[in-house]
Amino acid sequence: MPPTSIRLRVSLFSSPLFITSSKPATVRTFSTTLRRHEINKIVPSAEAAIADMQPNSTLLCGGFGLCGVPDTLINQVKATPHINGLTCVSNNAGIVGSGLGLLLASKQVSKMIASYVGENKLFEEQYLTGQIELELTPQGTLAERCRAGGAGIPAFYTPAAFGTVVQTGELPLRHNEDGTVGQYSEPKDVKVFRGKSYVMEEAIYADWAFIKAWKADRLGNLQFRGAAANFNGAMARNAAMTIVEAEHIVEPGEIDPAAVHVPGIYVKRVIQSTEGKQIEKVVNAKDPAAALGAGKDEAASKRERIVRRAAKEFKNGMYANLGIGMPMLAPSFVDPSVEVQLQSENGILGLGPYPAKGEEDADLINAGKETVTLARGAAVFGSDESFGMIRAGRIDLTILGAMQVSERGDLANWMLPGKIKGFGGAMDLVSNPENTKVVVTTEHVDKKGRPKIKKMCEFPLTGKACVSRIITDLCVFDVDFTKGLTLIEIADGVTVDEVKAKTEASFKVADDLKPML
């Protein structure tokens, strides 16, 4: 029998593959479609998902506050006490009794890498008494260290934290039982690019990552919802073993390809989330004056004066980031004709007002962990992208609180002696004062009557030469980083002599001194 040519189309590739045979046709019995083993990353339980997890692992844990936290997986680790000695990397450690706070209480964590201690008293106590090590890291730097590790980049340079204890190696990593410092951080390399100083930070590499997703399919494709994206995307791409707990497990194709936030190549295992969502701080919409406590006492009147003046800083078309507390109330006093896009560093551009009672959404919180809404046209994204736009100077204005400000514009707002809250995103927000105007809102003196505007800050710095304007209950100062302070506005009933008596820093008085409101 003469040889026969057979053209066989095999569905292995997007383009056809043709095979020619010179053997007799009777011996060829190919199927035109090759069967492949189905990819299925779904496992039946959290217990099965972490069955091979070892002690002393490095664990990335997504979430911000209680938003987007993989509670099902965390709870399973707590129920598996031999998994201890963990180095946990997360923005914060939840709260007492929830999130990573559970693993702190069970003593399964030996080290935290985080940006914020916050209101977690157990976290603060364990750190200050030497029970755990804490590598406190600026929030944007933390997000980028996780992103870089997953992208094969061993280190990078950032403007955040230059001139602070993070850069100089004076950050306490571990305390002794009596509260004295047992170990300090190492100084970081600094290089100058285009005339500006940058700090070198090394990438984080992790063994495990626990991720919370809104939707996942058996291929491992993920979709997040609202502000729950936060650190989850960057961390999912980093670890050797990424485990995802999803609210909804769907069939491949049910997540639109353009809506896949993390492709399945990064994900090893998927489980069904079984824990409900929690809200750390329920805040509802109210009249701005009522929010300030206006008319109730002198302190409320001072706050209202500061907030009303801060509202004048907004200009039409601005992109602005607001710190927690008084700055968050300033937009309520902005003229309706002025349109400003508010950015929240946990991954929102187009921040709306607080929700009406009963309309809270656990996936929509601001940087203060408070419930919020989205304005029409808002966008949501991960923390790594959020801080990219911040460091790059895309934010026109940031308004922050302060513990102290120096006459050269240095800012201290993250730590008081014996207490620690953490950096949060402040070090990143003040890292590009050439493009982002930094405005401080603060009462002129502290609760003991001591000046908060100093010749030099006594508390650890958030940033050097970064504050452009200071708004207090008494007055407004403009700041020149080389020449110092100029008094440009003064409150009704306040004299220049009173301002001098309550200000440690020296200042000039503008020739055209104006009323504050």
Q: Which two tokens stand for residue 145?
A: 């260290």
Instruction: Provide DSSP, 204-263.
Output: P--SEEEEEEEEEETT--EE--GGGGTTHHHHHTT-SEEEEEEEEEE-TTSS-GGG-SB-
Distance between CA 134 and CA 175 in Å, rounded?
9
Q: Which residues are catalytic?
A: 345
Distance between CA 312 and CA 319 in Å, rounded?
14
Q: Residue 394, class by beta-carbon neighbours within 10 Å (0-12 exposed, 13-18 middle, 19+ buried)?
A: middle
String of b and e for 99-127 (b: at least 16 CB within 10 Å)? bbbbbbeeebbebbbbbbbbebebbbebb
Q: How far is CA 116 from CA 9, 92, 332, 502, in A?
A: 58, 5, 28, 32
Q: Residue 207, class by beta-carbon neighbours within 10 Å (0-12 exposed, 13-18 middle, 19+ buried)?
A: middle
Residue with tokens 């029998």: 1
- Which of 431, 426, 343 has the alpha carbon at shortest distance from 391? 431
Residue 320 backbone phi and psi in degrees, to 5:
-130, 145
Distance between CA 119 and CA 219 in Å, rounded?
38
Q: Are β-strands 269-272 and 241-250 bridged in parallel, bridged antiparallel, or unpaired? A: parallel
Count of positions (residues) in the chain = 517
* Residue 300 DSSP class: H
Instruction: Provide DSSP, 128-158.
Output: HTTSSEEEE--HHHHHHHHHHHHTT--EEEE
